[in-house]
Amino acid sequence: MSSVHKNLDNFRTDGLRPVTGKRVAVITAEWNEEVTFAMRDGAVAFLKKYGFDDSNLVVRQVPGSFELIYGASYMLEKEDVDGVIVVGCVIQGETPHFTFISQAVASGIAELNVRSGKPVIFGVLTTLNQEQALDRAGGKHGNKGTEAAATLVKMLNFNVLEA
Ligand code: RBF
């Protein structure tokens, strides 16, 4: 999607219909909040255009991206939501933490998709620096949160979408 179109806001919405009868959660990591809160706001704004409001949209925070796995798992198991977007931003630092956190979150979220049978959308930026992250949180490369929300709407409509 973005590698072809270069901008995260360039996703297809033709034929995309509002979601009915579902409840979803957006879980946001507080680390790098100038990036993640902008992504969360993009995600929530998009969901509110596609059938969600305060009655069927749960918005919660966790400390860091590593905790997104637990946050999403909790929402799926205890709050019985139909789908989750996890929003985080891991910026490369001077320690191997970047690699450990990025890989753990990616595989943890992938596993949740399989285990829960519900879409858990990976709205996590992994960048070399803050500028690259801000460019993708409402900057010149679009908003990863908005794109993640569009992805969730598409996956919730998966069984009714035509090719
Ligand atoms: N969490 C993030 O969401 N993004 C980061 O870039 C990030 N970098 C971290 C770097 C270090 C050295 C440490 C110790 C933690 C970092 N975390 C980051 C937090 C991590 O996801 C988790 O909240 C903590 O490791 C829990 O103690």
Q: What is the pLDDT along the chain (163 residues), one digit of tens a residue?
A: 545 557 888 888 888 889 999 999 999 999 999 999 999 999 999 999 999 999 999 999 999 999 999 999 999 999 989 999 999 999 998 788 899 999 999 999 999 999 999 999 999 999 999 999 999 999 999 999 999 999 999 999 886 555 4
Which residue lies with its CA nearest to atom 12 of ligand 1?
Answer: 97
pLDDT of the residue at 2: 46
The pLDDT score that the predictor gives to residue 161 is 54
CB 88 within 8 A of CB 68: yes
CATH number at residue 38: 3.40.50.960
Ligand 1 proximity of 64 Cβ (cutoff 6 Å): yes
Residue 147 covered by a domain? yes
Query: Number of folded domains in the chain?
Result: 1
Distances (CA, A) of 114 to 70, 110, 111: 15, 7, 5
Rounded CA-CA distance 40/121 in Å is 13
Active-site residue, 141 included: no
Asked if the structure places residue 162 within a domain, the reply is no
- Domain that residue 126 falls in: 24-156
CB 88 within 8 A of CB 105: yes
Choose, from 5, 6, 12, 97, the residue flagged as catalytic: 97
Q: Could you tell me which of 121, 114, 162, 123 has the C-alpha nearest to residue 142? A: 123
Atom 13 in ligand 1: which residue has the minimum CA distance?
A: 97
For residue 27, how far is its CA from the centre of ligand 1 (angstroms)?
16
